[in-house]
Amino acid sequence: MKQNKIHNWQKEHNMRVAAFHKEHAQKIERGENGKGLLAKSENFVFNLGKTRLNIVELHKKHVSERGENGEGFIARFDRYILKIVKGLLK
C-alpha cells in the first residue's frame, strides 16, 4: 500500500500542537490554568492522575505482588491497595 507523504504545513502544525500541549500541562502543574470551572476540573483530573501514578511508583519499590514482603496485615493491605490502583489505571 502506498503511503502519502505528510505535507510540510501538517508537520509544522503537529509540532505546534505538541508544544502547546506540553506548555499547557506545565501550566496546569503550576496552577496557572485559570479559575473557571473547566480549569478547576482539568486541575482535579491532572492531579488525580499524577497522584495515582506516584502511588504506583512508590508501591513498586517496596511492595511485592508475590508476598515476599511478609504475610502480616499491613503487607496484605499494601498488596490489596496496589491491586486496586493497578485496576484503576487500566
Report yes or no on 40 lying in a domain.
yes
Write the pLDDT tens digit of every residue in 13-64: 989 999 998 898 888 888 888 888 988 888 888 888 887 777 767 666 665 5
The pTM score is 0.48
Task: Identify the domain containing residue 26 by its residue range.
Answer: 8-89
- Separation of CA 52 from chain center: 7
Report yes or no on 1 lying in a domain.
no
Task: Let me know how long the chain is.
Answer: 90
Report yes or no on 53 lying in a domain.
yes
Answer whether 56's CB lies under 8 Å from 82's CB. Answer: yes
Total number of domains in the chain: 1
